[in-house]
Amino acid sequence: MHPRARQGILLFNQGKYFAAHEELEIAWRQEPGRIRQLYQGILEAGVAYLHLQRKNLVGARKVLARSMRWLREWPEVCRGADIGQLRSDLEAIFVEASRLGPDRLDEIDRSFYKPIQLRETPV
């Protein structure tokens, strides 16, 4: 995994979604090949979380759809990141956000903002 992508995931896991975006974008721009799509999908996941925190359900849904498109073709674990779990976590938070609706997004339990699990040895 590109070192800036790993740093972006660590920031994502701390809830620093804007800073995570910046690191992942650097990795995305520097990395050749298809792996860029993985970084872009993770980047968009953080942006979706940021939109939810800013009570922008419409924007969050739009970005979530892009994130899921980027992430859907990757294996469950890729370059040490548990992408399958990230996809499940994104689906769960958006079910909850839809249940609450745009006026109650501040009621989303913080436990829905899950970290991306990293493994030391990429699979």
User: How confident is the model over 20-51, as pLDDT tens digits?
Assistant: 999 999 999 999 889 999 999 999 999 999 99
Q: Is the pLDDT of residue 122 over 60?
A: no
pTM over 0.95: no
- To which residue do tokens 């799509």 refer? 37
Q: What is 3-112's CATH topology?
A: Hyaluronidase domain-like (1.10.3450)
Main-chain dihedrals φ then ψ at residue 109, nearest 5 degrees: -65, 135
> Under the phi-then-psi rule, with left for phi > 0, alpha for psi from -120 to 50, and beta for the rest, what region is 38?
alpha
User: To 10 degrees, the CA torsion angle through 68, 72, 117, 91?
Assistant: 50
Confidence grade of residue 121 (pLDDT, cut at 50, 70, 90): low
> Under the phi-then-psi rule, with left for phi > 0, alpha for psi from -120 to 50, and beta for the rest, what region is 79?
left
pLDDT at 48: 96
